[in-house]
Amino acid sequence: FSCNLSDLLCSSLGLLYQEYRDKSTREEIETRRLQDSQTDPEETSPSEETPSEAEPTSTIENKAPPQINLLRNSNSRFNLWQDLPEVQSSGVLSILQPDEIKLQEAMFELVTSEASYYKSLNLLVSHFMENERLKKILHQSEAHILFSNVLDVMAVSERFLLDLEQRVEENIVISDVCDIVYQHTVNHFSVYITYVSNQTYQERAYKQLLQDKPAFREVISQLELDPKCKGLSFSSFLILPFQRITRLKLLVQNILKKVEEKSDRESTALDAHKELETVVKACNEGVRKMSRTEQMISIQKKLEFKIKSVPIISHSRWLLKQGELQQMNGPKTSRTLRTKKLFREIYLFLFNDLLVICRQIPGDKYQVFDSAPRGLLRVEELEDQGQSLANVFILRLLENADDREASYMLKASSQSEMKRWMISLAPNRRTKFVSFTSRLVDCPQIQCVHPYVAQQPDELSLELADVLNILDKTDDGWIFGERLHDQERGWFPSSMGEEILNPKIRAQNLKECFRVHKSDDSQRRKLGSRNRQ
């Protein structure tokens, strides 16, 4: 490029990362909606192709260059690679194949989104962190918790962006960006783990400062009103690094879906994706570790053991689900006796490796009367038993606290609560639909159109445009899903998404997913054969 690309990016974008990301994900949703409605679902039988073997099912073949302009208008200034004056005047659009143009767009989006992200980080530092009034209000320790190592994160983003810009300036047709992503992830992106692991402290410190320091609250409100912030909150700037590292992984996935199979670019994209996945997992673990430790300490304080005491706190233990269920009184209880309650309340704490069964006692305490390793739990649904036994299931402890088998007949408050307990208690129990990891040719799918923040440990937080396989659903509006891009599972309200009805699109989503994770699969196969030996 003859002009300076960074000037071009800054002037053409004009968007803070929060706006850029929102536009990008909404565009993704609209594109998928359009694809979903293009082909008559009856046209393609899901059995026509297996995702692991079939050819790509692109709906746009050998047509004019794809123009995905669903959300663009004259004011958005949201540039595509093919919109750049240099690209249009060069004549490359008439030479390149449509698939290569899509790949160029995917690589260019990674670059432009990094420029937008850097712009937002810069605003967080210059407008908030370095504000003189704010500096006077905050103690050094408070400022450190609030802003953590954001200067390191910004320096890493700047270096990354410079290398990306240099690559784009080398040739109007971008050769690759994933090799740069790989190098920076391996050598520099550990700063993200430090920043994100501090998130729990950061959120708590921010709430505390808003509550305890009216002067802080006032300055933040004034700074947020500045036109530079475009109506975005201070907290939306603080969460940027976590959002970016997650999004970067998805942008590399998007490139990976478009590169030629068995090519050098595919190999580089797989390497970059694998390294990013390692960083994202470390970020997630950093956040979880701190909140889990605090939660376990809090639970331990509430438990009183009627049986032999079990040590609750362990570095490898965390809470999966807790809550009240109704236990049906002993098997000899006649259901016609009105003198006895048919059900009485019990309270369950389910950890990743242990179940603790209690009764609530005064003083917000719980008396433990039974327990069992999670691997020794079995569940069974009671069907068509009449209204009084609706949402009832049997929980069997193959070996309880007394080293014997025990059974409990338990009633949940709703169908979704019953299913949620059953799946949490016995995770290997077959769900209504099979997981994508089983290589099923077709499976119900849903795309997220409203973000959702998990309220319980067994729920899944959703981002706009996430695509999930539906593993189970309830009549009262809940779905148990497995997200395709990271295989995370959990429950969420069905109102958060729209089902993907076109079997061809579902098969394409699965095929792309297998391709993204094929390096993981080969690793799993190696481990499997090693274990068998």
CATH number of the domain encompassing residue 393: 2.30.29.30
Residues 182 and 250 in one domain: yes
pLDDT of residue 11: 52
CB-neighbour burial class of residue 503 (10 A; exposed 0-12, middle 13-18, buried 19+): buried
Residues 260 and 400 in one domain: no
pLDDT of residue 18: 87
The DSSP-derived string for 186-247 is HHTTHHHHHHHHTHHHHHHHHHHHHHH-HHHHHHHHHHHHSGGGTT--HHHHHTHHHHHHHH
> What residues contact 423, with CB distance under 8 A and at least 6 apart?
429, 431, 458, 472, 480
CATH number of the domain encompassing residue 216: 1.20.900.10
Residues 263 and 188 in one domain: yes
pLDDT of residue 513: 87
Q: Is 469 left (phi over 0), alpha (psi -120 to 50) or beta?
A: beta
The C-alpha R_g of the chain, in whole angstroms, comes to 27
pLDDT of residue 84: 87
pLDDT of residue 423: 93
Contact yes or no for 399/355 (Cβ under 8 A): no
Residues 207 and 284 in one domain: yes
The conformation of residue 343, written as its DSSP 8-state character, comes to E
pLDDT of residue 54: 34
pLDDT of residue 310: 87
Residues 138 and 217 in one domain: yes
pLDDT of residue 389: 76
Range of the domain at 491: 436-525
| CA-to-CA separations, 424 to 271, 406, 408, in angstroms, rounded | 34, 19, 16
Taking the C-alpha atoms of residue 118 and residue 245, their distance in angstroms, rounded to an integer, is: 13
Residues 273 and 313 in one domain: no
User: Is 70 within the bounds of a domain?
Assistant: no
Domain boundary among 425, 457, 477: 425
Residues 360 and 246 in one domain: no
pLDDT of residue 19: 87
pLDDT of residue 38: 78
User: Is 394 within the bounds of a domain?
Assistant: yes
User: Is 36 within the bounds of a domain?
Assistant: no
Q: Strands, E, within 308-362: which ranges?
A: 319-328, 343-351, 354-361
* Domain count across the chain: 3
pLDDT of residue 77: 46
Give the relative orientation of helices 150-170 and 190-197 as an angle to the nearest 10 degrees. 140
The predicted-structure confidence for 94-121, as pLDDT tens digits, reads as follows 999 999 999 999 999 999 999 999 999 9
pLDDT < 70 regions, the chain: 1-13, 39-78, 330-341, 384-388, 429-441, 519-533
Residues 204 and 283 in one domain: yes
